[in-house]
Structure 1
Amino acid sequence: MDQHHARPSFWKTPFGIVSTIVAVVASAYLWVAHRDHLLALLPFALLAACPLMHMFMHRGHGQGGHSHAESQDNNGPRNG
């Protein structure tokens, strides 16, 4: 019998649990101690999110291995 051992999700590993707790505690501290500074930076964070989302969400485009010339050859000439 072949047993398949799936890797546990990042969130269920000890490192993932500790990382989540540290991130929550750090976020709570920043919110309590530096709320005014965080709210002042919010518009800039929204502006920075636009190019970051563009870079990370469009990284898969153009990786299909087909060029424009190949797709025209496969479809044949177009006559009206």
Structure 2
Amino acid sequence: MNHDHSQHDSGPKPFWGSRYSIGLIVFGAIAAYFLLSEHRAHFFGALPFLLLLACPLMHIFMHHGHGGQGHNHDGRQHPETSTPPQPPKIGE
């Protein structure tokens, strides 16, 4: 009895395509439900601090730090941040 294995993928399946990922998502949803239903006061008490924590994290990850302000990815400056050309001085 010969089986043709050429039709099956020989590589490993990715984690998010496996049945373990579905179990992890279901377990996480159940845990989130019980945490929010039983500890609602703690969650809402910590919410303002989580919003304050989101500000520096968004600054770091969305602005990519302070290294490249005013420059495109190719190194040129934005027109609104560059200095305008100065008019020639009289007598030059």
Q: TM-score range by the shorter chain?
A: 0.5 to 0.7
* TM-score in terms of structure 1 length: 0.54
Aligned equivalent of 1:13, options 13, 17, 25: 17
Aligned equivalent of 1:24, options 22, 29, 32: 29
1:66 aligns with 2:42: no
Deviations 1:2-23 (A, max 9, x none): xxxxxxxx8x623654443343
Tell me which protein shows more helix as a share of its residues: 1
Deviations 1:37-56 (A, max 9, x none): 00110111111111111111
In structure 1, give the amino acid aligned to 2:54.
A
CA RMSD of aligned residues (A): 3.5
CA deviation after TM superposition for structure 1 residue 26, in Å: 2.2
The equivalences for 1:35-54 within 5 A come to 35-54=40-59
CA deviation after TM superposition for structure 1 residue 65, in Å: 4.8
* TM-score in terms of structure 2 length: 0.48
Report the identity percentage.
Answer: 38
Change in 2 beyond 3 A, CA 1:18/1:54: farther
Q: How many residues align?
A: 64
Query: Which runs of 5 or more residues in structure 2 are unaligned?
Result: 1-14, 78-84, 88-92
